[in-house]
Amino acid sequence: MKIFVCPCKEKEKSMAALPSVTAALIENGLTPVFDESVSELYRDERAEYMSGDIIGGCDMLLTVGGDGMMLKWGRKAALAGKPLIGINTGRLGFMTSLDIDCLDKLSAIADGSCTFSTRMMLSAELSGKTSTALNDIVLFKDVNSKLPEFTVRINGTTVTKVRADGLIFSTPTGSTAYALSAGGPIIEPTVECILLTPLCAHTLLNRPMIFGAGDEVTVSYAAYEGSRVNMSIDGSRGTEFAAENMLVIRKSPYALRIAELGEKSFYTTVSEKLMTPLK
């Protein structure tokens, strides 16, 4: 079985973990595969180095880093129909499957005892282009822009109009990311729904809302004195969302399978990583 190992080349901790990760995979009869560009920084003769369609030639992807690496490679893994494993060398590592000191649990991949959780994703259609989000779709006004008034419709019916700095539409996986910081609820990641969390809404009554996974969400806004709005997918650089356009959000036809190799439950992870101070 070939495992495409995806380190963060810019992070020292990620690169420093590669010898241990490589050894653990080989010890369990798994073949580590790296992008050829990684060979400039790390080389192991027991591993394979490839270029081109590496994902298509491997059985699974394994990220070495933090949640950012899970987001970066998670969309690619989902589109290719390949499962993802995450080894945490970052600070929080909420989405990752294992901490770096638990590599012995990779044996579950080799013996077939590994289980997978399926994570719903969202599609965002804007100006004829469709993007896929694992965590969230964020609409936000420019720094010096006036507050726009957003209108959100569900299956054609208006459910809210609100003046706000922005809106966060997140998956259950993304409920513990930006949406949580904005006051949204924690949702168990295998639940299927769409969470809306306003950003700094100019009202006393606005609250987060949860929609069904089968709902079609449409978003437009009325510009006030030239309000400017951008859209970001999973923390990517914003793209312009013009006032004359309409954003359509649906459940994506793609889903990500994440390996569950740790012994901790989702709620244990929430308690340890979100309800206690970070080191």
Dist. CA 184–CA 163, nearest whole Å: 18
pLDDT tens digits, 10-67: 999 999 999 999 999 999 999 999 999 999 999 999 999 999 999 999 999 999 999 9
CB atoms within 10 A of CB 19: 11
**Same-fold call for 2-114+261-274 versus 121-253:** no
pLDDT tens-digit series, residues 223-265: 988 899 999 999 998 899 999 999 999 999 999 999 988 666 7
pLDDT of 277 over the 60 cut: no
Q: Please check the confidence at residue 168 and state whether its pLDDT lies above 90.
A: yes
Distance CA 2, CA 122 (A): 28
Domain boundaries, the chain: 2-114+261-274, 121-253
Q: How confident is the model at residue 261, as a pLDDT? A: 84
CATH ID of 121-253, from 2.40.110.10, 3.40.640.10, 2.60.200.30, 2.170.270.10? 2.60.200.30
Q: Note if 67 is an active site residue.
A: yes
d(CA 47, CA 34): 7
**Token pair of 122 as six digits:** 């969202």
Q: Is the dihedral of CA 73, 74, 79, 84 positive or negative?
A: positive
Quick: pLDDT tens for 144-167: 899 999 999 999 999 999 999 999
In the predicted structure, residue 268 carries a pLDDT above the cut 60 = yes
SS3 (DSSP) at 137? strand
The CA distance from 53 to 66, in Å, is 24
Sign of CA dihedral 147, 169, 75, 115: positive
22 touches 4 (CB < 8 A): no
pLDDT digits (tens, 9 = 90+) for 173-216: 999 999 999 999 999 999 999 999 999 999 887 899 999 999 99
pLDDT of residue 94: 75
Domain 2-114+261-274 listed as CATH 3.40.50.10330: yes
Q: Please report the pLDDT score of residue 276 as a whole number.
A: 65
Tell me whether strands 31-35 and 2-7 are parallel, antiparallel or unpaired: parallel
Q: Would residue 26 be called left, alpha or beta, if left means φ above 0 and alpha means ψ between -120 and 50 degrees?
A: alpha
Catalytic residue among 35, 53, 59, 67, which? 67
What pLDDT, on a 0 to 100 scale, did the predictor assign at position 279? Answer: 46
